[in-house]
A and B are shown apart, each in its own frame.
Chain A
Amino acid sequence: MDPISSSEENSPKKSLIEEACKIVYLNFGSGTAQLYRAGLKDKAEKEILSSLEESLTELVGPDKAQLEIKDLKNNI
């Protein structure tokens, strides 16, 4: 695989992981964010987004969760 393509493919995922971890940190606390970051390596982007939205919806409700996910997508 072309290393440049590889790094381009990894970059959006890396950005997604960073933003997802920020959201988890802000909403669930630092302890949870550390565990979350450690567990994300093998996850696909779609999986990361859907599980994050599910957890956020449970904690802060659907409206707030959608806002946070929208902000995350804008920041990637």
Chain B
Amino acid sequence: MKIKLNFISIKNQIALFFGGYFIFFLLTVLVTGGKSLLPDTLYVFSALIATLVGLLVVKLYGFKHPRGQVLLYFSTGLFLWFIAEATWVFLDFFSLEKPYPSIADIFFILAYPLLFIGLVKEIRIGKIRWKSQRTLPIIAIATILGLLVFYFGVYSAFNPEDDAISNVFSIFYGLSDLILLFAGLLIIFVIVDYRQGKLFAPWLSILAGIFLTLIADVIFSIYEEAYMQNDFWVTKIDLLWTGGYLFIGYGLALIALSLKEMREKIIANLNGNKKKKRPKS
């Protein structure tokens, strides 16, 4: 039986999918209480969804295309996070090994530089216009957020009671989040120029996803022990990580839709003009 959704635009169908996925995930988290396999599987798959959508956009731009390469770095970073999340869940539920610190962290950490390179490439393509009206507030926000991330994510992350590997990973996560924070704030300059264009909302969504991930990372670094002990409230930061993946996936899906729609319009305009021009008899 085919279900036709013609009465809902494709854009709204995409929003329904990602929104519905998050709500379903939220319900499984609330129903199951603490850590459970079903919500964790949904959590892992949210990273996979974002990855697959990213690869679709890469294909639309072209693998050698500058923007295709931006999103290839993004998608590869997301894929590494998917592997990391899957490894974490496997270790947490099916192995006697602690999921943190573990091999999962290697995949988590490898993703950050790729995401950073993607953001920097997009900044270079986007050509930032430095205006004092925008620059000063962003510098102020960057300073405050940077200090917060540094304090909670790097300085406070060091715990003399933890082993050396845990401390190294914790500090590395904090530094990676700091770098990603600054790249994310810089890209605001690029996307502000996109306002009133189709690309504004997608990039805003991607940024929202990145910032949700950073917030979750910082909270994890503060309450790591409580998280590992499956504290009811602290483990709810999974909602932020999942929300992060879904916002990124949603943004990438909107880019794909925008490219497809614009391609069809451009072709229609070109064909429309060809039809109008007929040779005089």
- A: residues with CB less than 8 A from B are 24-26, 28-32, 35-36, 39-40, 42-43, 47, 51, 55, 57-65, 67
Contact = CB atoms under 8 A, between A and B. Distances in A.
Interface residues of B, number: 32
Contacts of B274: 39, 42
A28 B263 contact: yes
B265 interface: yes
B270 A59 contact: no
A1 B126 CA distance: 44
Contacts of B271: 39
A32 B263 contact: yes
Contact of A30 (B61, B198, B273): B61
Nearest to B125: A26
Contacts, number: 86
B150 interface: no
A66 B125 CA distance: 16
A31 B196 CA distance: 24
A8 B60 CA distance: 37
B266 A31 contact: no
Contacts of B127: 67
B65 A58 contact: no
A63 B263 contact: no
Nearest to A29: B61
Contacts of B62: 29-31
Contacts of B129: 67
B250 to A, nearest CB: 18
A61 B266 contact: no
